[in-house]
């Protein structure tokens, strides 16, 4: 097996985080080698499905908001450099009971960080967007700066510009193993062996096996994305419809307005089976369909029509649903980003920038202490 040339940095995995890290490293004159086991924008990991909600009113934790401000800046910078529209700021509506922990979290984030928003009653939601049937005592927090991004376009944009700035991306090349040596890192793939000084692990749902030495407390969860084609598409198309997240009866469902003839996307957040990328059932089951229909029938009735498409995707969850962005505890030249717990996409460019910081400088000025590995006993 030939040993190819020496690289400053190798990135393992070209999903959204790996592509973003490649772009930031290449822009800082340290172009990496990126190794991806499949084709770019494949549909077996976590980054496919034509849309991802983007928002700053963050119910998960207000500590993410400064990172979101930076991510939005980065998305805009990427738009300027590429000439490609990435941010579709059609608004994001959070709906749910006022005493729901997520609604309280959204309100805490907008107040603490002074984010533009409107607080609405269920009747006001119905008047403004007749497609939504909120429960009588639900409230709505509408964030005009929310919306969606198209993941495949974002990944290609990062990857294309990374390549333009000197990065090398090898697709269809699986990393079989990596090890730390006296001089750096040795990475063996299906076709070659490489040496580098630094290694970034952005393996998404494959992270548990690629960082098996750490025995990370990660759980990979099956997620179903479904698209419905309403008889009258206009109310389901931006600007008539915002992205939304609805907290109902111990569950959360979200939706994204139609683009072209793709249908309106409706999906359930969390509550999927724990699985692995190798064993997951990648077909829509009758139980999947009846679950999402129970939601649309009650809360989005005009979208309770035939499903025109479905895609299975994977979350990689940490026990507290917060990300992991840190250096490997035993190897300071290995940097890890994973466990994005179903809400990482919107952060991709700032995660890429932080990974470049950690790789090149060993530290970052970004507030990521709460995402460190030392909160787990690894």
Ligand X SMILES: Cc1cc2nc3c(=O)[nH]c(=O)nc-3n(C[C@H](O)[C@H](O)[C@H](O)COP(=O)(O)OP(=O)(O)OC[C@H]3O[C@@H](n4cnc5c(N)ncnc54)[C@H](O)[C@@H]3O)c2cc1C
Name which of 29 and 282 has its Cβ closer to ligand X: 282
CB 110 within 8 A of CB 64: no
Torsion of CA 125, 129, 132, 135, to 10 degrees: 10
Q: How far is CA 23 from CA 15, 41, 112, 314, 363, in A?
A: 12, 16, 32, 24, 18
226 binds ligand X (CB under 6 A): no
User: Judged by CB under 6 A, how many residues of this single chain contact ligand X?
Assistant: 37
Q: Which stretch binds ligand X (CB under 6 A): 71-79, 116-124, 129-137, 336-344?
A: 336-344
Q: Which stretch binds ligand X (CB under 6 A): 97-105, 179-187, 341-349, 352-360?
A: 341-349
266 binds ligand X (CB under 6 A): no
Question: 49, 146, 184, 208: which one contacts ligand X (CB under 6 A)?
Answer: 49
Length of the chain: 378
Q: How many CB atoms lie within 10 A of CB 43?
A: 14
> Scanning residues 8 to 37, which ones bind ligand X (CB under 6 A)?
12-18, 35-37
Q: CB of residue 249 vs ligand X: minimum separation in angstroms?
A: 20
d(CA 192, CA 187): 8
147 binds ligand X (CB under 6 A): no
203 binds ligand X (CB under 6 A): yes
346 binds ligand X (CB under 6 A): yes
Name which of 113 and 311 has its Cβ closer to ligand X: 311
d(CA 145, CA 261): 25
354 binds ligand X (CB under 6 A): no
Name which of 45 and 140 has its Cβ closer to ligand X: 45
376 binds ligand X (CB under 6 A): no
Q: Which stretch binds ligand X (CB under 6 A): 41-49, 159-167, 233-241, 294-302?
A: 41-49
CB 18 within 8 A of CB 345: no
313 binds ligand X (CB under 6 A): yes
| DSSP H/E element including 119 | strand 118-121
96 token code pair: 């749910």
d(CA 95, CA 118): 12
363 token code pair: 């530290």
268 binds ligand X (CB under 6 A): no
What does the buried/exposed string (b/e) look like for 8-27 if buried means 16 or more CB atoms within 10 Å of the residue's CB?
bbbbbbbbbbbbbbbbbbbb
> Scanning residues 164 to 193, which ones bind ligand X (CB under 6 A)?
174-175
CB 348 within 8 A of CB 17: yes
Q: CB of residue 82 vs ligand X: minimum separation in angstroms?
A: 19
> Scanning residues 101 to 130, which ones bind ligand X (CB under 6 A)?
none
Judged by the rule CB under 6 A, the positions of this chain that interact with ligand X are 12-18, 35-38, 45-47, 49, 52-53, 174-175, 202-206, 210, 223, 225, 313-315, 338, 340, 342-346
């Amino acid at each position: 097996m030939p040993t190819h040339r020496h690289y400053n940095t190798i990135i393992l995995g070209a999903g959204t985080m790996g592509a973003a890290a490649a772009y930031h490293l290449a822009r800082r004159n340290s172009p990496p080698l990126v190794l991806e086991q499949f084709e770019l924008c494949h549909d077996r990991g976590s980054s496919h499905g034509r849309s991802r909600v983007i928002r700053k009113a963050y119910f998960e934790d207000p500590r993410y908001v400064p990172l979101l401000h930076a991510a939005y800046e980065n998305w805009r910078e990427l738009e300027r450099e590429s000439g490609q529209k990435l941010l579709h700021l059609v608004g994001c509506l959070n709906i749910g009971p006022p005493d729901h922990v997520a609604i309280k979290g959204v309100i805490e984030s907008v107040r603490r960080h002074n984010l533009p928003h409107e607080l609405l009653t269920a009747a006001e939601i119905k008047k403004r967007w007749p497609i939504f049937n909120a429960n009588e005592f639900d409230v709505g927090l509408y964030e005009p700066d929310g919306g969606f991004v198209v993941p495949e376009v974002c990944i290609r944009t990062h990857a294309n510009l990374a390549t333009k700035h000197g990065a090398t991306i090898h697709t269809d090349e699986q990393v079989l193993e990596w090890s730390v040596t006296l001089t750096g890192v040795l990475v063996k793939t299906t076709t070659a062996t490489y040496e580098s000084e630094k290694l970034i692990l952005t393996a998404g749902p494959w992270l548990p096996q690629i960082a098996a030495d750490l025995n990370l407390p990660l759980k990979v969860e099956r997620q179903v994305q479904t698209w419905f084609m309403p008889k009258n598409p206009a109310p389901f198309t931006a600007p008539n419809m915002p992205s939304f997240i609805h907290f109902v009866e111990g569950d959360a469902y979200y939706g994204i307005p139609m683009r072209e003839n793709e249908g309106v996307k409706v999906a359930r957040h969390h509550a999927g089976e724990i699985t692995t990328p190798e064993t997951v059932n990648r077909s829509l089951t009758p139980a999947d369909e009846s679950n999402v229909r129970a939601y649309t029938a009650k809360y989005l009735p005009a979208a309770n029509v035939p499903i025109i498409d479905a895609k299975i995707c994977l979350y990689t969850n940490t026990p507290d649903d917060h990300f992991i962005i840190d250096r490997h505890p035993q190897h300071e030249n290995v940097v890890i980003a994973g466990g994005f717990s179903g809400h990482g996409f919107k952060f991709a460019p700032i995660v890429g920038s932080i990974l470049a910081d950690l790789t090149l400088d060993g530290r970052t000025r970004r507030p990521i202490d709460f995402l460190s590995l030392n909160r787990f006993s690894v």
